[in-house]
Chain A
Amino acid sequence: MADAVHITDDALVALIHQDQLQAFHTLYERYKAAMLVFAAQRVDKVIAEDLVQDVFLGIWKNRNQLTIAEEISGYLFKALRSRIIDHMSRDSHAKKYLDSLDAFSYQFTSADAKIREEHFMQKLEELLTRYGPQYQKILKMRMEGYSNQEIADALGLSEKTIRNQTWSLMKFLRSKLSNALLILFF
C-alpha cells in the first residue's frame, strides 16, 4: 500500500475529524517510530511504548473535540513530552528526575520561549527525517530485492535520497550493533 499521493498532515487531521480511521493510521505510521525513539531515550522502553500508545489513542478518542492550532508533529511530541513528564512525576524514581532537574536549574539561564520552541522543532525534524516512514518502506523494498532506482521510482524520491537513507541507516546499524552484526546472502 504505497502512498501514491502524499497527504499532508493537515489534510490527515481534517480527515481524522471526520472519523476516517485510515487517516488516523496513516498519521500513526508517519510518527510512531520517531515518537518511540523520543520517549525511550528518557524512560524505560516498555513505558515509552505505553505513552506513545496513550497519545495516539487519546487523539482518536478525542478526535471530535480536537483543535490543533499548530503543526501536528509539534502537537504530537508535546503531548508525548507532557505524558512523559507526568509519568516522571508519579514514578517511583521521581526523586532521580527531580535531582537531575535541580542540578540543571543551577546552570540554567532562562531562554526565550520562541527560541526554545524553534530548538525543539529542529530536534524533531532530525528525528523524523531519520525515523520517518521511509525508514521502513525502503527496508521492506530492499528485502524484496528492488534496486535503489526502483525504490526511488516507487516512492517518488531521487535515487540519491535512497542511497543517503541507506547510508545513514547503515551508519546507525554499525554504531549500534558492534556486537550484533548483520549478514545476509541470497
Chain B
Amino acid sequence: MNLDKTILQRYAQGNCTPEEQGLVESWFDGYKPHEELSPQELLSLLDSLDKKVRQEPKVRRWNWKPMLAAASILLLGAFAFYFFSQQQSSEEVLNQLAKYEAPTSSNAILVLENQQEYNLDSLKQGDTLQTTQYLITKLPGGELKYVLREGETQVVYNTVRTKQGGTASLVLSDGTKVWLNVNSEITYPVQFAADSREIALKGEGYFEVEQQRRNGARVPFYVRGEQETISVLGTKFNANYAKQGETALLEGKVAIARGSREQALEALDFKVQLAPNQVYASGKLQVSEDITQYIDWKEGYFYLNEQRLDRIAEKLSSWYGVDIEVDPAIQGSLLFGRISRQKSLKEVLEVISAVIPMEFEFQEEKLALKKII
C-alpha cells in the first residue's frame, strides 16, 4: 500500500494535502458498492428519517404503501399500450378469454331441511321464503336473513353452498353475519340451541359473530371444520378450510382445537388462542401486518401485496372458473396493490402481464401463463 493509512481520518478532519483531497474525492465519486435503493426502501427510510428530523407531532408522513399503489397506477397507464401492441399472439389469446367475465350472479344454492333447493339468483330482493317455522328474506344487499316464527323450538338445519365464482352472505337467526367465499358450504341450525351455537363450514367463510348471553353467561359459537373447530365469543374472523385450514382474527378472541368434526365439543382441547391480527395456519400462529388481506374476497378485490403469482392464479381460477397453470419460472414473482373482482379475467391478465412480462396459451379450456423466453 502506498497510502498513508490515516488518509480518510485526516480527510474527515480537514487535514489532507490538496493532492490527497483530490484523490479521496475522486475515489469517493465512483465508489458505490451498494445497489441504488428500491422505492420501498427509500420511502421506508424517509418515513423513519422524517420522524427524527421533523419532531412535531402532526407531521404528515409519506406512507410507502399507498405510494407504491400510486406508482402502480402510473405503471399501468404508460406500459399497457406499449406492451399490448407488442404482444399480438397473447393478445389473441386474451380475446378468447373475453367470456370469463366477473361473476354477476351469486352462483349459490340454499338447501332447506327437507332437501328442497333454491337457486339464490332466482330469489329477488325482498322475496321471502316461508316455511311453517321461519321466514327467509333476501335483503337489498343480497344477503339472506332468517326470521323465526314465534313458539317454534325444533332444531332444523339449512345449508348454503357456493360454486365457482359464487359468493353468498346471510344473517343467521342469532344476528351473526356470515359471508361465504367461492366453492364453500355452511350448514347451520335455523334456530340455535339455547346454550351453544354450532355451525359447520367447508371452504372459506368470514364471520361477524353476535354476542349472546343466557342467564348472564356468554353463549359460545363454534365453527366446525373437517379437522378443526373454532370456539368464538363475539368477534370478527375469517376461516379458510379450502386447504389446510387458516384462521385470521380481525377483532375479539377465538380459540382453536384440532380434531374431526364428529368429535363432541367436550372432547376438544381449545389450546390455541388467537388475538386480533393473528393468523393460525398449518399449526403455526403468526402476526399479520395487514389482516385485511384475508377478507379481500369479501371486500370485492384481490389482495396482491407480496403475494406470489401462483397464489393469485389460484384465486383467479376459482373466481373466474378457469383452470390456470403458471410457468415455474414466474410462480414466485411478487405483486403489489389490489385488483377489483369486478374486472373481467382478460382485464386482470392485461394488468398483470403489463408488469410481469408473460405469454398466454389457452387450450382445451386451460390457460397457461408462461415466461417470455
> Is the Cβ of B49 less than 8 Å from the Cβ of A36?
yes
> Is the Cβ of A113 less than 8 Å from the Cβ of B18?
yes
With CB as the reference atom, state the residue of chain B lying closest to A104: B27
Cross-interface CB contact of B66 among A32, A43, A83, A143, cutoff 8 Å: A143
> Is the Cβ of A37 less than 8 Å from the Cβ of B1?
no
> Is the Cβ of B70 less than 8 Å from the Cβ of A142?
yes
Residues of B near A123 (CB, < 8 A) are 29
Residues of A near B36 (CB, < 8 A) are 37, 40-41, 176
Cross-interface CB contact of B351 among A32, A53, A111, A185, cutoff 8 Å: A185
Contact with B along A78-97 (1 / 0, CB 8 A): 00011111101110001001
Does A160 make an interface contact (CB < 8 A)? no
Q: With A100-B31, A119-B29 in contact, is A45–B334 under 8 Å at CB?
A: no
Residues of A near B32 (CB, < 8 A) are 41-42
Work out how many contacts link A and B, with CB atoms closer than 8 A: 214
> Is the Cβ of A82 less than 8 Å from the Cβ of B12?
yes
A170 to B76, CA, bound (A): 9
Contact with B along A58-98 (1 / 0, CB 8 A): 00000000000000000000000111111011100010011
A184 to B76, CA, bound (A): 8
> Is the Cβ of B54 less than 8 Å from the Cβ of A28?
yes
Contact with A along B24-54 (1 / 0, CB 8 A): 1111111111111111111001101110111
A42 to B22, CA, bound (A): 18
Residues of B near A57 (CB, < 8 A) are 53
Residues of B near A9 (CB, < 8 A) are none
Give the interface residue-count category, chain B: 35 or more
Q: With A101-B24, A120-B25, A167-B78 in contact, is A181–B336 under 8 Å at CB?
A: yes
Residues of A near B34 (CB, < 8 A) are 40-45
Does A2 make an interface contact (CB < 8 A)? no
- Give the interface SS of chain A, mostly helix, strand, loop or mixed: helix
A91 to B41, CA, bound (A): 23
Residues of A near B352 (CB, < 8 A) are 183
A116 to B12, CA, bound (A): 18
Does A161 make an interface contact (CB < 8 A)? no
With CB as the reference atom, state the residue of chain B lying closest to A56: B53
> Is the Cβ of B3 less than 8 Å from the Cβ of A102?
yes
Cross-interface CB contact of A81 among B28, B347, B348, cutoff 8 Å: B28
With CB as the reference atom, state the residue of chain B lying closest to A89: B8
- Shortest Cβ distance from residue A37 to the other chain B in the assembled complex, whole angstroms: 6
A90 to B45, CA, bound (A): 23
* 8 residue pairs A–B, Cβ–Cβ below 8 Å: A45-B37, A53-B52, A100-B31, A101-B31, A111-B22, A116-B29, A183-B352, A184-B76
Cross-interface CB contact of A182 among B19, B72, B332, cutoff 8 Å: B72
- Shortest Cβ distance from residue B254 to the other chain A in the assembled complex, whole angstroms: 32
With CB as the reference atom, state the residue of chain A lying closest to B11: A85
Q: With A42-B32, A85-B24 in contact, is A101–B337 under 8 Å at CB?
A: no
Q: With A40-B45, A142-B74 in contact, is A98–B69 under 8 Å at CB?
A: no
Residues of A within 8 A of B (CB): 1, 25, 28, 32-33, 36-37, 40-45, 48-49, 52-53, 56-57, 81-86, 88-90, 94, 97-102, 104-106, 108, 110-111, 113, 116, 119-120, 123, 131, 136, 139-140, 142-143, 166-167, 169-170, 172-174, 176-177, 179-186
Q: Which residues of B from 334 to 353 have beta carbons under 8 Å from A?
A: 334-340, 343, 347-348, 351-352
- Shortest Cβ distance from residue B372 to the other chain A in the assembled complex, whole angstroms: 13
A73 to B103, CA, bound (A): 56
Q: With A28-B54, A169-B74 in contact, is A102–B2 under 8 Å at CB?
A: yes
Residues of A near B35 (CB, < 8 A) are 41
Residues of B near A36 (CB, < 8 A) are 37, 42, 45-46, 49
Residues of B near A142 (CB, < 8 A) are 70-71, 73-74
> Is the Cβ of A139 less than 8 Å from the Cβ of B53?
no
Does B326 make an interface contact (CB < 8 A)? no
Residues of A near B54 (CB, < 8 A) are 25, 28
Cross-interface CB contact of B38 among A42, A119, A176, A186, cutoff 8 Å: A176
Cross-interface CB contact of B12 among A45, A85, A119, cutoff 8 Å: A85
Cross-interface CB contact of A139 among B27, B67, B337, cutoff 8 Å: B67
Residues of A near B9 (CB, < 8 A) are 86, 89-90
Interface centre among B30, B34, B356 (most CB of A within 10 A): B34
Cross-interface CB contact of A116 among B26, B74, B306, cutoff 8 Å: B26
Q: With A108-B23, A177-B38, A180-B334 in contact, is A170–B78 under 8 Å at CB?
A: yes
